[in-house]
Amino acid sequence: MNVKGTRDIYGDEARKKKEVELRVASIFEKWGFEPLYTPALEYLDLLKGKYGSEEKLIYEFQDKSGNWLGLKYDQTVPLARFVAEKDVPLPYKRYVIDRAWRYDNPQRGRYREFTQCDIDIVGPKSISADAEVIACAYEVYKSLGIDTVFKISSRKWLNNVLGNPDNKVLRAIDKYYKIGEEEVKKLIGEDKLERLKNTGPDQELNTLFNLLNKYKVKYEFDPFIVRGLDYYTGVVWEVYAGGLNLSIGGGGRYDNLIKRAGTPIPATGMAIGLSRMLELAEIKTVKPVFLAVIDREKAIEAANYLRNYFPIDMDTTDNPLRKQMEYANKKSYRWVIIVGDNITIKDMESGKQQIVTLDSVPKVIKL
């Protein structure tokens, strides 16, 4: 039995996950981001004080040496530690596709162990860096056939409009789409709510919007986007799947989280949740062709040749042909190649089969 909030990923879903990860990494690298992998475990002191009310979701424990450790809650705080400790040249553009853990309430598309696809740019103060992160992520979603809109606001804008609101007010605003306008009005007052609704974007946000227009990104200004993490300092955004009230990513600027020798280093970035993206992605995965074996030596020769054209799952059990075919059926393989004195292709969907030459197999089987 799986631990609550975790699951096994296998079969077609695992193939789809791998294909999505490869596509995402390819686009990140096309935009000049380089991979970084950090440990699953961090000292608990590093993780504490970064996540506000969500800090209670950190998995924490004491090891046999008495050290308090935590599983990483996200990819951003480990990045901050890495940049603080290593003399990497700035700007530093990194991506990571890795797991994180939160003791959250499991629900559709949300698990306690999950994979994040993150990009960050460390070093520049310029709004151009925020625009590039958003535009790169927009291309990722587009490549997977996911229609998105980026809902964008700014912590600085909120501070100016509301006069440095406390965390209680920010949390109430952040819940606007969950609890509704009337409940938010009760929590923050009608005056603050009207100011939020009637104040337009500031100069920095308008500069960002002009850049996003050049990148052809779909976005909208939304004064109720706050983001729950304490470390955000500037522009913040949430990504919504088109036509659905479903957040599938988010990020923002965090200029005070990373420090070298006590000096803050500006940064911006975002996380794309892989689980929800998998539900929406339009991806066709390639399932192997099953090679049933009557003559092992001929089957090996055939497999060596055919793997130049498509994936081959060759039987290794030496079971009778009947059992091999039963296995192929259980695996829902579309195509089976039977290798003995002859080479026979069977279409498991139609039941039709034909004897062919080895070099004609790739012409018959189209994956």
- Residue 136: closest CA among 31, 14, 218: 31
Domain segments of the chain: what residues?
11-280, 289-364
Question: Among all chains, which residue has been given the structure tokens 């050290």?
Answer: 67
Q: Does the pLDDT at position 367 exceed 80?
A: no
pLDDT at 180: 74
- Looking at every residue in the chain, the average pLDDT score rounds to 92
pLDDT of residue 332: 94
pLDDT at 108 over 90: no
- Topology annotation, domain 289-364: Rossmann fold (3.40.50)
Phi-psi region of 109 (alpha: psi -120 to 50; beta: other; left: phi over 0): left
Residue 173 has pLDDT above 90, yes or no: no
Pick the CATH number of 11-280 from 3.30.930.10, 3.90.1150.10, 3.40.50.970, 3.30.1380.20: 3.30.930.10
The pair phi, psi for residue 4, each rounded to 5°, is: -55, 130
Q: What digits encode the pLDDT tens for the residues 185-237?
A: 777 777 887 888 888 999 999 999 999 999 999 999 999 898 876 789 999 99
Whether 325 has a pLDDT exceeding 90, the answer reads yes
Cβ-based neighbours of 56, under 8 Å, separated by 6 or more: 103
- Nearest Cα residue to 136 out of 57, 289, 24, 34: 24
**pLDDT tens, 30-65?**
999 999 999 999 999 999 988 877 899 999 999 999
Provide the pLDDT for residue 247: 87
Average the pLDDT over 251-259 and give the result: 93
